Amino acid sequence: MSPVMYWTTTVAKSVYILVFPLTLAFVLAWAERKQSAVMQDRIGANRASVFGRPWLGFVHMVCDAMKMFTKEDFVPETEHRFLHHIAPGIAMFFALLAFAVIPFGNQLTIAGETIGLQVADLNVGILFVFALTSLGVYGLVLGGWSSNNNYALLGAIRASAQMISYEICIGITVIGAIIAFGTLSLQEIVLAQGTHLLAGWLPRWGILLQPLGFLLFFVAGIAETKRVPFDMPEGESEIIGFNLEYSSMKFGLFLFTDFVETVLIAAVTVTFFFGGWQVPWLYETGFAFPWGSTWAIHPNIAALLQMGAFVGKVVFFCWLMMAIRWTLPRFRYDQVMDLGWKWLLPLSLANVVVTALITLW
């Protein structure tokens, strides 16, 4: 690959890490209002307007952003002002960086050069994701600890306890998928799901190989986003939260991090259990249906369809998590801990044992 093409594709992929999750997070911030309004038989955001039209409430999001940037940035009296300033950036940085190893397509051919649609194809990609999501909690802990507020510190302690409880379950659950696919590379896991079962009629997606693993991973993933019903670290109905002493855009950055983490969990769920960018019966040269007919298309068009399929799946799971967020009441703290340690952890261990035995057999 020529140096110009190499740097062009590198920059384009780096921009993707910012544009895709942040754009979808902006849409989720809008859906936070409009989807909840539809579910609760309300109109939702419709006051702010441009040229007399509310544009489905999107103008409210622009107004919210302007308010975040212009309102007073209050900083509490504390010895750790520097940590208080950088904590939101730490949380957002690691959430965005995790998208570097998530494949959003197969490959494109431009000017005779083959471009893989993944920023970094690591052979231990899933470990990279887990490492970054684990480091992201440091932003929450530092934010609560540096705020010089007991209620903020309590929210930070809850965040660290919840992360430890549910990341163990996520990690053990993923072991079942790793045994089934035999690799730690996320791109190879997606490629392995491109084959079919039952004489080509069913895609070999992770949901069919690991149905219990999917349920455990998805529940633990929702807990990792710190959203209702697992919003113990923020305590939206309490005077508790790691972001309690934050205002202006630093508070907005913490809020946006929650939405980015929602997109991340949706993307990892799609990658492991729903074929990633795979489309049933769509190959590089076109469609090949199990009843014998084919439909040839250009490889680049197939790649674009696969990219669109990945985005559509991620959007669906973001919508599903938002629907769960506005359906279930928040749990008590003891219920959150009991669910993680007494139910999800034993079931995830049993899932790994059963998967190993079936694979060995």
DSSP assignment string, 159-174: HHHHHHHHHHHHHHHH
Full pLDDT tens readout for the chain, 361 residues: 677 777 788 888 888 888 999 999 999 999 989 999 999 999 888 888 898 888 889 998 889 889 888 988 888 888 789 999 999 999 999 999 999 999 999 988 887 788 888 998 898 899 999 999 999 999 999 999 999 999 999 999 999 999 999 999 999 999 999 999 999 999 999 999 998 888 889 999 999 999 999 999 999 999 999 888 999 998 877 878 899 999 999 999 999 999 999 999 999 999 999 999 999 999 988 999 988 899 999 999 999 999 999 999 999 999 999 999 999 998 988 999 999 999 999 999 999 999 999 999 8
Q: Residue ranges per domain, the chain?
A: 75-360
The strand pairing partners of 116, in sequence order, are 107
> What pLDDT does 30 receive?
93
The structure's pTM equals 0.94
pLDDT given for residue 258 in this prediction: 93
Contacts of 19 (CB under 8 A, 6+ apart): none
CA distance 129 to 121: 12
Q: What's the pLDDT score for residue 356?
A: 94
- Going 88 to 94 to 97 to 103, the CA torsion angle's sign is negative
Tokens standing for 340? 């993680």
Distances (CA, A) of 318 to 55, 83, 142, 258: 22, 31, 28, 12
The two beta strands, 286-288 and 282-283, are: antiparallel
Helix (H, G, I), strand (E, B) or coil at 300: helix
Of 259, 228, 234, give the one whose Cα is nearest residue 327: 228
CA dist 251 to 9, 29, 64, 194, Å?
Answer: 34, 14, 12, 42
Question: What is the DSSP secondary structure assignment for residue 132, as one 8-state letter?
Answer: H
Length of the chain: 361
Backbone angles phi, psi at 225, to 5 degrees: -80, -10
For residue 1, what pLDDT is reported?
66
